[in-house]
């Protein structure tokens, strides 16, 4: 049998090696008490980022994406896999509706 991945909308941010603060803000804006236990930390304070995932601690390399899944879980994703799996989500606008200003 073949299966197709369900279409889901996720939150993600790409780590560029310099945007540690944005990565931290992204994580803290989405983590919730009921989320699976995850901790984002930076080695030696300002060093490389690591995230506790359902599979254990994982390093977030430069250009990796940090994804918040549909159940509040966080995990890194390599750029090629991200490009194969995700497109930018653009909600459809109702016909005749005016965009917010």
| CA gap 82, 75 in Å, rounded | 12
Report the pLDDT value the prediction gives residue 54, as an integer from 0 to 100.
84
DSSP element (H, E) containing 22 = helix 20-30
Is 34 a member of any domain? yes
| CA gap 28, 19 in Å, rounded | 14
Is 30 a member of any domain? yes
pTM: 0.82
> pLDDT per position in the chain (101 positions), as tens?
988 888 889 999 999 999 999 999 999 999 888 777 778 999 876 789 999 988 899 999 999 999 999 888 999 999 999 999 999 888 876 666 666 55
Report the pLDDT value the prediction gives residue 101, as an integer from 0 to 100.
53
| CA gap 47, 41 in Å, rounded | 9
Report the pLDDT value the prediction gives residue 95, as an integer from 0 to 100.
63
Is 101 a member of any domain? no
For strand 56-59 and strand 49-53, is the pairing parallel, antiparallel, or unpaired? antiparallel
Total domains in the chain come to 1
Is 50 a member of any domain? yes
């Amino acid at each position: 049998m073949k299966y197709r991945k369900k279409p889901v909308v996720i939150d993600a941010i790409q780590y560029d090696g310099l945007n540690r603060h944005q990565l931290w803000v992204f994580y803290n804006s989405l983590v919730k008490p009921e989320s699976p236990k995850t901790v984002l930390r930076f080695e030696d304070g300002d060093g490389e980022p690591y995230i506790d995932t359902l599979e254990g601690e994982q390093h977030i390399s430069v250009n990796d994406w940090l994804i918040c899944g549909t159940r509040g879980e966080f995990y890194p994703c390599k750029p090629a896999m991200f490009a194969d799996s995700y497109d930018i989500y653009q909600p459809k606008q109702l016909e005749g509706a005016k965009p917010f200003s």
